[in-house]
Amino acid sequence: MAKTPILLITFSRPDTTKHVFEAIRDYKPEKLYVFSDGPRQEKYATDSPMINETRSLFDDIDWDCEVIKKFNTANQGCGAGVSGAINWAFETTDRLIILEDDCLPSQSFFPFCDQLLEKYQDDQRVMHIAGTRWNEEFQIKGDKNYFFSRYGHIWGWATWKRAWESYDFQIKAWPEFSQTEALNTILDNYFPLIKRWEYMFNDVYHQQAKHTWDYQWQFAIFKNNGLCITPVNNLITNIGDVGEHFSSATSAHHRDRTEFIGEPLGPDGLRFEDDFDAYHGRTFFLEGRSPIKLFYDQTIGKLMYKSLKAKEVK
């Protein structure tokens, strides 16, 4: 089986990039795309030397590999930069493993993606392969070592061009989609979670200069009722304590990762792990919310919201 092309997304962190690149070197893909965003105008003096040091890591590739580089002179940011890098790579390949410069994979993450990208290449509903498993305290029943979720986590992941074609950075379909009952069905009619995702999609939709890309991908997955392959055991650890989104380590960083043993074994048929998604939605995306506030939102808040919606229709 041919090894899947890898897209490595970098910026100004040579230390973390070096570790991720070493993991890629151990895997030895036949094709490697390297994207490097340019320095921010307001931080040009500090960004430039770090970016140059990061880019120098790819000067000498010591295995047989086609390396395709896109090194920006100007900064596109976390939104347009990352989504644009994925668009660019998909101009010349039909599948990708995507790693950012702080997402350190186990070696078994790569063949895990290889085999499942091949297996589900023609199943349109399967849109995403994650390397990260959250809420490992939730026991997945059966002897499978991966399952299907509604949530596409992006700390080490893979997808196909045919799935990415449903991606829209501007999420122009959100207003029409928001008028349907689709989110109610997707999110198990749990209003606090529905409200959370509606808020995020509304926020992204109305941003003139969009500074994120991953909410748009999750919207595409929700909109297409997409299935996201998720390993039972976590295969990625995030080593980026300091960067664009974090100033110090959090509980999400430096998590244990495992090596995937044996062949990927999934569920019978294409079906969501509904119990996990219900648990994960409440504990991961609503982490820190008070039980009283959640109860209020699911009861009184939900009724008030429905009343407002009814008035808008009239």
pLDDT of residue 248: 45
Domain parsing of the chain, residue ranges: 6-169+210-283
Give the pLDDT of residue 120.
97
The H or E element spanning position 217 is helix 214-223
**Residue 38: closest CA among 6, 86, 80, 91:** 80
Please report the pLDDT score of residue 295 as a whole number: 56
Q: pLDDT tens digits, residue range 8-34? A: 999 999 999 999 999 999 999 999 999
pLDDT along the chain (314 residues), means of 10: 94 97 97 98 96 96 96 96 98 98 96 97 97 96 95 98 98 95 91 92 94 97 98 95 51 78 89 96 83 62 56 50
- Answer for the pair 85, 76: CB distance below 8 angstroms, yes or no: no
Q: How far apart are CA 65 and CA 68, in angstroms?
A: 10
End-to-end CA distance of the chain: 58
d(C-alpha 67, C-alpha 30), whole Å: 9
φ, ψ at 22 (rounded to 5°): -65, -40
Alpha-carbon gap, residue 103 to 119, rounded angstroms: 24
Q: What are phi and psi of 109, to 5 degrees?
A: -60, -40
In the chain, the amino acid numbered 242 is V
pLDDT score recorded for residue 245: 46
- The class that CATH gives domain 6-169+210-283 is alpha beta
Query: How high is the pLDDT of residue 51?
Result: 98
pTM, to two decimals? 0.91
Per-residue pLDDT tens over the stretch 226-280: 999 999 999 999 998 755 544 444 567 778 788 877 889 999 999 999 999 999 9
Helix (H, G, I), strand (E, B) or coil at 236: strand
Predicted local distance difference test score (pLDDT) of residue 160: 98
